[in-house]
Amino acid sequence: MDKKASLSKRLLWLVLSYLLFIIIYNSSAWYAFYFQKSDSFVFHFEKNIPFLEWMIVPYMTSGLLFTLVFFFCSTQKDLMLLTKRINFTTIVSGLFFFLFPLKYSFIKPQAASNFLNLFFQFLTTWDSNYNQAPSLHIGYAVIFWSVITKEFKNPKLRLMLQIWILLLCISTLTVYQHHFIDIITALLLSCITFFIFPDNTERNYKIGLVYSFFSLLFLTAALLIYQYISHYGLLLLWISIAVFLVGTAYTNSNSKFLKREDGSISFFKKIFYFPYLITYKILWLFCRKNRKNPITEILPQIFIGAKLNAKQAASFINEQTYIIDLCAEAEEIGYIRHQSNYFSKPLLDIGSIKQEELETLLNLLTRLHTEIKPGEKIFIHCLMGYSRSVFITVFFLKRILNIELEEAIPIVTKKHLQSIFPKYLLNSN
């Protein structure tokens, strides 16, 4: 069990992290101001962002949260993770402040409220119009969010704090302190930060971060194309959202985000996830073109392979065939779903497999194998037939033949020549 974080350690890492922030933030602001190195980058739509003076309140609480978050962490391990994330974000952001200094370019209106104007005066005195991208407000807010989500068990209090952090993020735009490019770059940096310093060792978590990173790149490309080339650049927003939601599915290990129980995909999801689906469709067509036979018999009545096309299915599948479809990213063809004993058991591509998912599959396969009759057959397939089907089949053989894993692997890989046994999946089982 991890040790509880002591008060002295909390104070030590808080002070050191704050000193690092002060040194980097102020020196980079001085550098940009003194050498007049800064420039500005503004998207056209930002001119329509309203100035909301009351949003200065959540904006100013970033410093308070920076302090409190060190006392929210319950264990020494979590405290060290927080410290690494905050200081990594500070250092990398500081490097960008020096190398690519940007300045806020909008004129900030005078606050009508005398009380709120005190906050703006404080901001003018102690903050800087430099040090824009990546926004430290956003980078820190993502870290605050992760700590609060993990540490606060009361759902109402957790939700209230999360809403406050969202307001804090929005305030960077509405108090005229940051441009939108600062937000995007901060989120990109957050993906990198959480990838390097994860609080979750599951493979799916990191894959989800990679998808999120590319989602932000598509968003950036969409806005740049829209601004400088064509309105059609906004089509990339569609790809950005689809990729982000796929990443969310990976982060949550949700292998059933796309397909129904019967292996079909709804019309709405086919349209919405079209960029994702067409990418895998192209990969499948390419791999199928370069493979003469996508089906391999491993043991009598037990076959593995790739997703079949209509012609292959018609020559191999019948009502005496049990299909175990492991694809999470492709719809099974109608002929197979209707003309066989079909089971949809989706697994995320290149992702990890939960123990309960593996047990469910092995129990199903063991039952089918125990009850199998002459003339019947079991076909286990993923999209390409390279890894997921191989992994499940290896564990299936290990169980029914009562052999060691090292003995089961070559039985599959020597017969199914295109197979890749994904050893990384062993970490989750």
The secondary structure of the chain, three-state, reads CCCECCHHHHHHHHHHHHHHHHHHHHHHHHHHHHCCCCECCCCHHHHHCCCCHHHHHHHHCHHHHHHHHHHHCCEHHHHHHHHHHHHHHHHHHHHHHHHCCECCCCCCCCCCCHHHHHHHHHHHHHCCCCCCCCCHHHHHHHHHHHHHHHHCCCHHHHHHHHHHHHHHHHHHHHCCCCCHHHHHHHHHHHHHHHHHCCCCCCHHHHHHHHHHHHHHHHHHHHHHHHHHCCHHHHHHHHHHHHHHHHHHHHHCCCCCCCCCCCCCCCHHHHHHCHHHHHHHHHHHHHHHHCCCCCEEEEECCEEEECCCCHHHHHHHCCCCEEEEEEECCCCCCHHHHHHCEEEEEEECCCCCCCHHHHHHHHHHHHHHHHHCCCCCEEEEECCCCCCHHHHHHHHHHHHHCCCCHHHHHHHHHHHCCCCCCCHHHHHHC
**pLDDT above 90 as % of the chain:** 75
313-327 per-position pLDDT tens digit? 999 999 999 999 999
77-108 per-position pLDDT tens digit? 999 999 999 999 999 999 999 988 888 888 88
Q: How many residues does the chain have?
A: 429
Please name which of 227, 273, 223, 229 lies closest in space to residue 247, comparing C-alpha atoms.
Answer: 273
Q: Are residues 168 and 299 in the same domain?
A: no
Q: Are residues 60 and 186 in the same domain?
A: yes
As beta bridge partners, residue 347 has 327
Query: Is 425's pLDDT higher than 80?
Result: no
CB 391 within 8 A of CB 352: no
Q: Are residues 185 and 304 in the same domain?
A: no
246-304 per-position pLDDT tens digit? 999 999 999 999 999 999 999 999 999 999 999 999 999 887 765 667 899 999 999 99
* Interval 221-227 mean pLDDT: 94
Q: Which domain holds residue 416?
A: 295-428
Please name which of 40, 46, 44, 39 lies closest in space to residue 225, comparing C-alpha atoms.
Answer: 44
Query: Is 164's pLDDT higher than 70?
Result: yes
Tell me which of 181, 199, 217 is where a domain ends.
199
Residue 267 lies in a domain: no
Cα-Cα-Cα-Cα dihedral sign, residues 319, 320, 321, 322: positive
Q: Are residues 43 and 166 in the same domain?
A: yes
Please name which of 243, 248, 237 lies closest in space to residue 273, comparing C-alpha atoms.
Answer: 243
pLDDT, residue 291, reads 66
Residue 318 maps to which CATH number?
3.90.190.10
Residue with tokens 């020549």: 417
pLDDT, residue 423, reads 77
pLDDT, residue 115, reads 85
Residue 304 lies in a domain: yes
Residue 151 lies in a domain: yes
Q: Are residues 177 and 40 in the same domain?
A: yes
Query: Is 170's pLDDT higher than 80?
Result: yes
Residue 362 lies in a domain: yes
pLDDT, residue 366, reads 96
Q: Are residues 48 and 164 in the same domain?
A: yes
CB 89 within 8 A of CB 190: yes
Tell me which of 199, 216, 245 is where a domain ends.
199
Q: Are residues 167 and 40 in the same domain?
A: yes
pLDDT, residue 429, reads 42
Number of domains in the chain: 2
Q: Are residues 45 and 192 in the same domain?
A: yes
CB 321 within 8 A of CB 372: no
Query: Is 155's pLDDT higher than 50?
Result: yes
If one compares 200 and 297, the residue with the highest pLDDT of the two is: 297
pLDDT, residue 289, reads 62
Average pLDDT, the chain: 91
Q: Are residues 191 and 329 in the same domain?
A: no
Q: Are residues 188 and 307 in the same domain?
A: no
CA distance 104 to 109: 14
Q: Are residues 178 and 304 in the same domain?
A: no
339-396 per-position pLDDT tens digit? 999 999 999 999 988 888 899 999 999 999 999 999 999 999 999 998 999 999 999 9
Residue 287 lies in a domain: no
pLDDT, residue 31, reads 84
Residue 166 lies in a domain: yes
Residue 312 lies in a domain: yes
The identity of residue 384, as a single letter, is M
Tell me which of 150, 174, 199 is where a domain ends.
199
Residue 218 lies in a domain: no
Read off the tokens for 283.
């990969």
